[in-house]
Amino acid sequence: MSGLSLKGISKSYGTVEVIENLNLDVHSGEFLVLVGPSGCGKSTLLRMIAGLEEISDGTISIGDRIVNDLPASQRNLSMVFQSYALYPHMDVRKNLAFGLTNLKMPKAEINRRVQQASDILQIGELLGRKPRQLSGGQKQRVAIGRAIVREPELFLFDEPLSNLDAELRVQMRVELASLYNRLGTTMIYVTHDQVEAMTMATRIVVLRAGKIEQVGTPYELYNNPQNLFVAGFIGSPKINTLPATASSNESGLQINITNIGKFSYVDLATTTPNISVCIRPESFKINQTAELNLDVEIILVEYLGSEIFLHVKIATGQTLMVQASGKSNYKLGEKISISANPQDCHYFDADGQRIQAKNA
């Protein structure tokens, strides 16, 4: 297993800078996910690691080797793409073996690796089939198997599940996580789907406009987002954001949510008057009292079985999302009250940076 180090990485296309002075250390044996909105540079970064895209500046090291000038074939890594890119005229066995054959590897070793990969991915019964005889999930397993047989130092995945239907994506997420646990090889995975990131990663890198916004475990990013962008991007459904003003005194922070109400938070302090108060849908309590209380009207009910998401309208006309138990029976147009405690909210200053609690 090998780790990866990116130092001062930049990528420009003419005057357009896609990646700007990016620094990142990927630990040996971890499952790192690069996530962010479309156009944030995550796939470009992955392609630079793979050697498929030249870097404009900086240093890429795999283990203790600087690989800036090494072609992709000499970096000892494997990449799984969004498209399966299987050879249509070859059966699965030949698709798996093709790269090893080009490396002039002994036939016995090729057979061993192909058999091992097929056992890991449970595709032994597919070895004699052509790609046209496979389902989407089976094709993706073969594409992953083609990466496994190389026994690389790093696995790179570029949105490998985006072409699958919703149910199959869930199944393949489980299989990829299981594969990581079995192999223990360093994996770097690109996706725009933060649910994929949260369910598979040991650490997540949130990118925006070619820059890293935050790096951390799924738990850290969800419960301690360092800025307003990360708070809004991580979590499904999205976090609720309310504009507010704040003033500090000896008893803590006095918060006035615009046209809604006031409350105090003794463990918080800030020098910026304009802030944002963010509340996860599951942090709201329904028809209970707390320091922040709102009377709302239900304008949409999303029933998901084990849980319900209520779209509610507050006095300012803004819509919020509230999570409720699937056993509850709320109706469209029903008026309810929702509440939240100060310690269950997230606070961000005028620049969108997290306001830390005094005891944090």
pLDDT tens string 288-319: 988 889 999 999 999 988 899 999 999 889 99
Of residues 140 and 297, which shows the higher confidence score? 297
Residue 125 makes CB contacts below 8 A (sequence gap 6+) with none
Predicted pLDDT at 252: 72
The yes-or-no verdict on residue 144 having pLDDT over 70 is yes
Per-residue pLDDT reduced to its tens digit, 99-126: 899 889 999 999 999 999 998 888 999 9
pLDDT of residue 269: 75
How many helices and strands in the chain, by DSSP H and E? Answer: 8, 20
Helix (H/G/I), strand (E/B), else coil: 332: coil
In the predicted model, what is the mean pLDDT of residues 335-341? Answer: 93
In the predicted structure, residue 10 carries a pLDDT above the cut 60? yes
Residue 163 confidence (pLDDT): 79
Average pLDDT over residues 163-183: 85
The pLDDT of 328-340, averaged and rounded, is 93
Tokens of 356: 């830390």
- From CA 286, how far away is CA 190, in angstroms rounded? 37
pLDDT in tens, 65-98: 999 999 998 999 999 988 888 999 999 999 999 9
Helix axes 92-102, 107-121, angle to 10 degrees: 140
Would strands 77-80 and 154-158 be described as parallel, antiparallel, or unpaired? parallel
Averaged pLDDT score across all residues of the chain: 91
What is the per-residue pLDDT for 360?
57
**Around 120, how many Cα atoms within 13 Å sit in the side-chain half-sphere?**
24
